[in-house]
Amino acid sequence: MTLPVFGRIPLSAVFGTLILAGTLVLFLFGPMLAPYGQEDVLGMPFAEPSAAHPLGLDQNGRDMMSRLLHGARMSVGVSLAAVVISFCIGVPLGFLAALRGGWPDLIGARLVDIVMSIPVLISALVVLQALGSSLPVLIGTIALLDSTRVFRLARILAQGIVVMEYAEVARLRGEGLWWMLRREILPNALPPLMAEFGMRFCFAFLFVAGLSYLGLGVQPPFADWGGMVRDCQQGILYGLYAPLFPAGTIALVTIGVNLVVDWALAGRTTIQGENR
């Protein structure tokens, strides 16, 4: 991916980049910026927004904005960790499978097909049922399930590169595994993998939030955006905006990532949004 000229970035991509930058700041410094603790009860449940509490209080009388800032670390962190792990597992294995071929490749591909033939949410529910919901289980489960998708993409990309004549020349020269992976396959597979990283992050982020919304994701006392929606959902029946703040934040981050990914993918004909 060549670096784009700044003046020609479309408005949507600028917008997306700004949202991403904002998310990064929240992730890194959110808890430090929060005026109150995530567990501090400060007033009446569902108190209206005021100067002291710009977004009002939640169903237990805790400051909404502070909880949003605290929750950023959990919501973004869990999904980011899961996606990083899934790439660390999926990419090397996918490359190796494509490069080596033979029966390990076939078995790997079949296994991944079978795992992928169960909807992700259902697989996750099965595992969480068995192991209970803790942070390591949550991250590990999402990472493993996600790594099947990463494996498949990495394998397809590497298969496409291995049959290119420049890779054949390297094999004819007797190059070892490390050179093939590092110098021939990785640089050429990188741009689509980067775009996939964005898409997978988006998916994992929505997924963690969704699980938390179902009460099966990040557990109290930690604040996280999906769980916050669940907690103050009742407020909506009284015409309160409270649950829309965390839900809207989730939507905004997702839009930001999607805008950037869409821009990076412009001109490619990848079918997006697989495996929701």
Partner 1 sequence: MSHVLQIRDLRVEAPDGTVLLHGVSMDLNPGEVLGLIGESGAGKSTVALASMGYGRGGCRITGGEIRLAGTEMRTAPRQTREALRGTRIAYVAQSAAAAFNPAMRLERQILEVPRVHGLMNEAEARVWMTDLFSALQLPDPEHFGRRFPHQVSGGQLQRAMIAMAMAGKPDILVLDEPTTALDVTTQIEVLRLLRDVIRRYGTAALYITHDLAVIAQIADRLMVLRNGREVETGPTAALLDTPQQDYTRLLVAERHGSLTASQRMHNPGKDELLAIEGVDAFYGRTQVLHDVSLRLNRGETLAVVGESGSGKSTLARLIAGLLPPARGEVRLDGACLPPELSQRDNAQLRRVQLVYQLPDVALNPHQTVGEVIGRPLALFGGLRGRALKDEVARLLDQIGLPACFAARLPGALSGGQKQRVCIARALAAKPDLLICDEVTSALDPLVAEDILRLLLQLQDELGIAYLFITHDLSVVRRLADRVMVMQTGRIIETAGTATLFATPEQAYTRRLLAAVPELRTNWLDEVTAAH
Partner 2 sequence: MAWLILQRLGLGVITLVLVSMLVFAGTEILPGDVAAAILGQNATPESLAALRQELGLDSGPVARYLAWASGILHGDLGQSLANRQPVGELLWPRFGNTMALAGYAAVIAVPLAVGLGISSAALRGSFFDRAANVVALATVSLPEYFLGLLLILFVSVQWGLLPSLADTWSGMGLAAWLQATTLPMLVLVLVTVAQIMRMTRTTVLAVMDQPFIETACLKGLPMGRVVLVHAVPNALGPTINVVAFNLTYLIAGVVLVETIFNYNGLGRFMVDAVSKRDVPMVQAAAMVFAAVHVVMNMLADIAAIALNPRLRHPRVKES
What is the spatial distance between Cα 202 and Cα 255, in angstroms, rounded to a whole number? 9
107 binds partner 2 (CB under 8 A): no
106 binds partner 2 (CB under 8 A): no
Which C-beta is closer to partner 2: that of 60 or that of 234?
A: 234
174 binds partner 1 (CB under 8 A): yes
57 binds partner 2 (CB under 8 A): no
> Per-residue string for binding with partner 1, 184-213, x by CB under 8 A?
x--xx-------------------------
Report, in Å, the least distance between residue 141 CB and partner 2.
Answer: 10
Report, in Å, the least distance between residue 187 CB and partner 1.
Answer: 4
Closest CA to 225 of 43, 39, 65: 65
Report, in Å, the least distance between residue 1 CB and partner 1.
Answer: 11
Report, in Å, the least distance between residue 253 CB and partner 2.
Answer: 9
Q: Report yes or no: 228 and 246 within 8 Å, Cβ to Cβ.
A: yes
> Per-residue string for binding with partner 2, 222-251, x by CB under 8 A?
-------x---x--xxxx-x-xx--xx-xx
Residue 63, phi then psi, degrees to nearest 5: -70, 120
Report, in Å, the least distance between residue 275 CB and partner 2.
Answer: 8
What does the DSSP 8-state code read for residue 43? S
> Per-residue string for binding with partner 2, 142-181, x by CB under 8 A?
----------------------------------------
258 binds partner 2 (CB under 8 A): yes
SS (H, E, C) 70-104: HHHHHHHHHHHHHHHHHHHHHHHHHHHHHHHCHHH
Please tell me the count of residues contacting partner 1 according to CB under 8 A. 15
| Partner whose binding site includes residue 172, from partner 1, partner 2, none (CB under 5 to 8 Å by kind) | partner 1
106 binds partner 1 (CB under 8 A): no
Torsion angle of the four alpha carbons 116, 145, 253, 71, in this order, in degrees rounded to the nearest 10: 150
Please give the single-letter amino acid code of residue 9: I
168 binds partner 1 (CB under 8 A): yes
Query: How many C-beta atoms surround the C-beta of residue 75 within 10 A?
Result: 32
How large is the C-alpha radius of gyration of the chain?
Answer: 22
Query: How many C-beta atoms surround the C-beta of residue 136 within 10 A?
Result: 9
Q: Report yes or no: 76 and 26 within 8 Å, Cβ to Cβ.
A: yes
| Partner whose binding site includes residue 6, from partner 1, partner 2, none (CB under 5 to 8 Å by kind) | none
Collect all residues with Cβ–Cβ distance below 8 Å to 226 and sequence separation of at least 6: 75, 208, 209, 210, 211, 212, 213, 217, 218, 246, 250
* Site residues (vs partner 1, CB under 8 A): 164-169, 171-175, 183-184, 187-188
